[in-house]
Structure 1
Amino acid sequence: MTANARQDRPGRTELGRVLMSGGALPPEWAPSFETVPRSAFLPDLMWPFDMETGTSIAVSQADDPAAWYGYADADVPVVTQWDDGKHTGREPGQVSTSSASMPSVVFRMLRDLDVRPGDRVLEIGTGTGWNAALLAHRTGAENVVTVEVDGAVAERARVALERFGAGVGVVHGDGYEGHPEGAPYDRIIVTAGVRHIPFAWVEQTRPGGLIVAPWGTHYGNGDCVARLAVARDGRSASGAFTGPVEFMKLRAQRLSPVVHSDYVTGGPEDRDASATDLTEDAFLGERFSPQRFAVSLRVPHCRHVVAEKRDGARPVWFYGLTDHSWACVMFRDGETARIWQSGPRRLWDEAEAAHQWWENEGKPGHQRFGLTVTAEGQAAWLDAPERSWSV
């Protein structure tokens, strides 16, 4: 890597201090953080997430270098592509489709990966190339292969990596299939949210190796980092979750938007009405609360949508993904929540039962849950693989 790559800007120094003190940056990754700045892999025009406004804003290095470097050195996610590359102009597009993750998330996942010098690593989702460059610094560029499904994104990352001096192998292809030409790998890391972990990743990892991937169900956009160890016989991979995150979804596993009018049809006589004593705070908690994750594991083939709160009322919708069953719970401040359901499934009843199960189990956090992947499918579990169910 180039000797002049290190950039001792005050913002980077402060970021390193915050990451280290918060436990996100392990000591063994500190040299890589110092040597490989995120700024070396970001485009001139980017869209960082502004924490104060809660929106993505356009920032150009040419127009405002101070702001550009300020965001590059901040613990915020940065969108680098909208709408699969169809977007043009400075204003944010409709859907973010490539990004540079928050540094705290990047280094927590690298910590989970437990990479040792000389390990062979496959990365699924190249993005800007920063994560691949960090891996190259830690384990050797010749030991890292990164796969990117978007040709334009792959080419930009390849150029940035070459410019930086990290000779990582960049492959334009579908990471869902892995990269068997370079197998077996000691580690596989995935930088996109997945809803199904393909067994190809297990097959391409050596026995005892690790797979680290943001995993979740179609219930919502939230993910949880799965840290899976491949069994000695290579027939499965299993491990506990390490914490909640949210990633752009693997393109092969994106879910098409739910069309509300396809579900809610007919009149009042076509739906059942009831009520629940469960409150909004108890059911939803915060954005990354463990009850949301627990319910997502226990209510299969369902999408839920939390609407904005207006005038003290917040509707939460549930849509079946295998039929047109639907449900809505209307939480209203100071009142008993009302329920409407329709279709072969009673989705709210399932969600409420899942929440009750979570409470009965002692309100377990994310780390008490785990995932096992075999050639036959995947199963979630609580506390031990023996307590598993298909997901």
Structure 2
Amino acid sequence: MTINAHQERPGRTELARVLMSRGVLSADWAPSFAAVPRSFFLPDLMWPFDMETGRSLSVSRLDDADAWFRYADADVPVVTQWDDGQHSGAGPGQVSTSSASMPSVVFRMLRDLDVQPGNRVLEIGTGTGWNAALLAYRLGAENVVTVEVDEAVATEARTALHHFELPVRVIYGDGLRGYPKGGPYDRIIATCGFRSIPFAWVEQSRPGAVIVAPWGTHYSNGDAVARLVVPEDGASATGAFTGPVEFMKARTQRLLPVVHSEYVTDSVADREKSSTPITEGEFMGERFSPQRFALGLRLRHCVHVVAEKRDGARPVWFYGLGDRSWACVVFRDGQAEAQVWQSGPRRLWDEVTATLDWWRAAGKPGYERFGLTVTAEGTQRVWLDDPSDSWEV
């Protein structure tokens, strides 16, 4: 294989140094990182996320190879497909639907997977094929199976893996069904976000198998990495979350955008009005603040939308997914209290404040104190500290 142009670049050396200094790239994965460059699996036209501007940029290897390799070797996510493949043109599309994840996220999840020699691994979400190649380099291509729901993406990844001389079996199909013909598996890893983890994965796992998957609720687009272990009886899988991430969602589990007009059918001012001493900072926190995750775990069947701040005011909307309940809180700079409006059988803002009180009383737990249990009955149960004290989401 001719890959020197992809390997011998200062950017890769610097990326390795940064990942190792942060404890993300462990010594056992360093040889795979060195041998399998992400750039080999990226298309000539790609859309990396620029951290400074907060936007996806269009970068062509044919037009600017230096910039292309600079982003390929950077710790940034790179979109490789928009709008389920319906997008055309050089600019970004509307919805990103396939990508190469940030290297720091990739190796953090591989660390959580804790593969051992001889392990058989099922990957859900092939994408570019880079993650499968890293696994195959370490375990052997014969021990890795990867499933991709998009036929064009699967074909491109299969071709890249073949050219890299790591001929992983790439299956075009629905990853929610797993791939029983290749099982049983010692490890399963997903590279897209889920709102419900299929029990089929548990059924295709050996006792003691580890499942690593981004999981979250419809409350927000954020996820957390669930690290589940399958017990001897195979009746469930349970484990703690290891930290926050944000992934593109599995296509069959995407939430359609809320239609605001179907909830708010008349003037907001005509609805129940109150105020709250909760500040914008207390509610919002940082992007991956644990209270946001806790809110999603406790506010069942609810989605929230944070609007852009204008003239010092930031509205936040809450919509009930099981009925037409809604709430709106408007935070204003310089004001001690925010205005709240609520409507419908649920008082969603009251649920928000009750959850924040619960989170504070529990000692403001971070992601690692929460966990997830998946059962044969198809339920997803979350817990704080103790799996025996769980609730359904």
TM interval, shorter chain, is over 0.9
C-alpha separation in 1, matches of 2:269 and 2:319:
19
CA distance in 1, matches of 2:84, 2:314: 32
Which residue does 2:350 correspond to in 1?
349
Partner of 1:42: 42
Which residue is equivalent to 1:304? 304
**Superposed CA RMSD:** 1.2
Query: Partner amino acid for 2:232?
Result: R
Unmatched 5+ residue regions in structure 2?
none
**Deviations along 1:16-38, whole A, 9 cap, x unmatched?**
00000001101100000000000
Where structure 1 has 5 or more consecutive residues not aligned to the other structure, the ranges are none
Q: Deviations over 1:312-337 (max 9, x none)?
A: 11111000111111000101112110
> Following the alignment from structure 2 to structure 1, what is the Cα–Cα distance between the partners of residues 311 and 362?
34
Q: Determine the structure 2 residue equivalent to 1:27.
A: 27
Partner Cα distance (1:140, 1:232) in 2: 26
| 1:388 maps to amino acid | S
Deviations 1:253-298 (A, max 9, x none): 0000011111001235752111111111111101100000001100
Distance 1:61 1:224 in 2: 33
Cα 1:334/1:234, change in 2 over 3 Å: same
1:379 maps to a residue whose letter is: R
Does the aligned pair in 1 maintain the 2:3–2:40 contact within 8 Å?
no
**How many residue pairs end up in the alignment?**
391
What displacement does 1:5 show? 8.5
Q: Tell me the equivalent position of 2:386.
A: 384
1:259-278 alignment, distance < 5 Å: 259-267=259-267, 271-278=271-278
Aligned to 2:63: 63
| TM-score for the superposition, normalised by structure 1 | 0.98
1:19 maps to a residue whose letter is: L
Task: Write out per-residue CA displacement over residues 101-150 of structure 1, whole angstroms, 9 at most, x where no aligned residue.
Answer: 00000000000000112110000000000000000011110000000000
**Distance apart, 1:2 and its partner CA:** 7.1
CA contact (8 A) 2:226 2:242 kept: yes
CA distance 1:268–1:141, change in 2 (3 Å): closer
Quote the sequence identity (%).
Answer: 73
- Other-structure match for 1:179: 179
TM-score, with length taken from structure 2: 0.98
CA distance in 2, matches of 1:269, 1:56: 38
Counterparts of 2:269 and 2:163, CA distance in 1? 65
Residue 370 (1) aligns with residue 363 (2): no
For residues 62 and 165 of structure 1, the distance between their equivalents in structure 2, rounded to whole angstroms, comes to: 25
Partner of residue 195, structure 2: 195
SS of aligned partner of 2:319? strand
Taking the TM superposition and a 5 Å limit, the aligned residue runs for 1:1-391 are: 7-267=7-267, 271-335=271-335, 336-376=337-377, 377-391=379-393
Aligned mates of 1:4, 1:230 — CA distance in 2 = 41
- Following TM superposition, by how much is the alpha carbon of 1:310 offset from its aligned partner in structure 2, in angstroms? 1.4
| C-alpha separation in 2, matches of 1:389 and 1:211 | 21
Distance (Å, rounded) in 2 between the aligned partners of 1:251 and 1:209: 25
* Letter matched to residue 57 of structure 2: I
8 Å contact kept, 2:125–2:147: yes
- For 1:26 and 1:2, the matched residues in 2 are separated by 27
SS at structure 2 position matched to 1:117: coil
Query: Could you tell me whether the CA contact under 8 Å between 1:11 and 1:70 is conserved in 2?
Result: yes
* Alpha carbons 1:299, 1:350 under 8 Å: kept: yes
Task: Please give the alpha-carbon distance, in whole angstroms, between the structure 2 residues aligned to 1:88 and 1:153.
Answer: 15
Shift of 1:384: 1.2
How far apart, in 1, do the equivalents of 2:76 and 2:4 lie? 25
The alpha-carbon distance between structure 1 residues 46 and 144, as it changes in their structure 2 partners (threshold 3 A), is same
Distance (Å, rounded) in 2 between the aligned partners of 1:346 and 1:113: 40
Check whether the contact 2:268–2:341 (CA below 8 A) recurs between aligned residues: no
The CA distance in 2 between the partners of 1:298 and 1:270, in whole Å, is: 28
Letter in 2 for 1:70: R
The answer (yes or no) to whether the contact 1:136–1:166 under 8 Å persists in 2 is yes
Matches of 1:338 and 1:5, distance apart in 2? 58
* Contact preservation (8 Å) 1:325, 1:342: yes
Q: Secondary structure at the match of 1:379?
A: strand
Partner Cα distance (1:284, 1:178) in 2: 37
Maintained 8 Å contact 1:117/1:140: no
Aligned-partner residue type, residue 167 of structure 2 = G
Pick which of 78-87 and 266-275 moved more.
266-275
- The 1-side partners of 2:211 and 2:2 are apart by 30
What displacement does 1:6 show? 6.8
Q: Deviations for 1:180-235, whole angstroms, at most 9, x for unmatched residues?
A: 11111000000000000011011111110000000000000000000000011100
SS of the residue corresponding to residue 382 of structure 2 reads: strand
Conservation of the 8 A alpha-carbon contact between 2:219 and 2:303? yes
CA contact (8 A) 1:5 1:35 kept: no
Cα offset for 1:3?
8.2
Moved runs in structure 1, 4+ residues, more than 3 A? Answer: 1-6, 267-270
Q: Secondary structure of 1:212's partner?
A: strand
